[in-house]
Structure 1
Amino acid sequence: MKQIDQSVLDAFDTMWGLYPEPVMLIHACRDVLAVNRRAEELGIGSGIKCHSLYPREKTCPGCLANRMLKSGEAERKGALFPQTGRFLDSYWVPVKGVSDVYIHFGNDITEYVKPELMEE
């Protein structure tokens, strides 16, 4: 697993530790460097490849991390997950001053989504 400065890990925990949805700090090679409390409660830990959660051998088809890493700008995508019936508003956000590291999370916004979007 890639190593990262402790100050970055501390800042991640300060900002995201109590966020109500799972949040991961990820290296460009897809190593999960840290997770917040909600991710831990769901059994997600650091030291894995993020795509192994789905489970996949390679980057997920809808992943926008590569685009975000190339542009240096945050990316957002809303998508229905048929296996759960939930609609997630997902984000890939670069970490300022730390190359090749980003934050990834998705907010469950199912209750706010138009019914026609739930039929995709």
Structure 2
Amino acid sequence: MPQVEPEVLHAFEMMWGLYPGPVLLIHKSREIMAVNQAAATLGLPAGILCHSLYPSDTPCPGCMANKALKQGQGVRRPAWSERQGQFMDGFWIPVSGEPELYVHFGNDLTDLVRPELKSAGNG
């Protein structure tokens, strides 16, 4: 089981604790190490594999975590989420100084997307 230093967990809470949407701190193994308040309110727990939320035994097809960790920089992927019925602007951001950790979140941009893109079901 991966371990995260207390100061990293504290920094995550300081930076993302009050963010209005769910934010996850995830290990490269896909284990959720910490969640912010919004994620906890939705019942998203730490200690499980992130893709098990969908449910799946493997990482989600659109997951950009490996790319973000390999490049050492944040990756953005806006896309239509059929499952959620939302246009999501997804981010995978490596944690500086922690090569096995990244922050993942998505913002719902559905209200800002042109109607023809919503009906086409793509981003």
Q: TM-score, normalised by structure 1?
A: 0.97
What CA deviation, in whole Å up to 9, does each residue of 1:81-114 have, x standing for no partner? 1222111100000101111100000001110011
Which runs of 5 or more structure 1 residues have no equivalent in the other structure?
none
1:18 is displaced (CA, Å) by: 0.6
**In the alignment, residue 51 of structure 1 is paired with which amino acid?**
H
| Map 1:100-115 → 2, pairs under 5 A | 100-115=100-115
What CA deviation, in whole Å up to 9, does each residue of 1:30-87 have, x standing for no partner? 0100000000011101000000011110010000001111111110001111222111
Identical-pair percentage: 51
| Map 1:28-107 → 2, pairs under 5 A | 28-107=28-107
In terms of mean alpha carbon deviation, does 21-30 or 110-119 score higher? 110-119
State the SS of the aligned residue for 2:98: coil
Q: What is the CA RMSD across the aligned residues, in angstroms?
A: 0.8
Aligned pairs, number: 120
**In the alignment, residue 74 of structure 1 is paired with which amino acid?**
G
Q: TM-score, normalised by structure 2?
A: 0.94
- CA distance in structure 2 between the partners assigned to 1:16 and 1:96 by the alignment: 15
- CA distance in structure 2 between the partners assigned to 1:113 and 1:14 by the alignment: 31
State the SS of the aligned residue for 2:46: coil
State the SS of the aligned residue for 1:43: coil
**In the alignment, residue 66 of structure 1 is paired with which amino acid?**
N
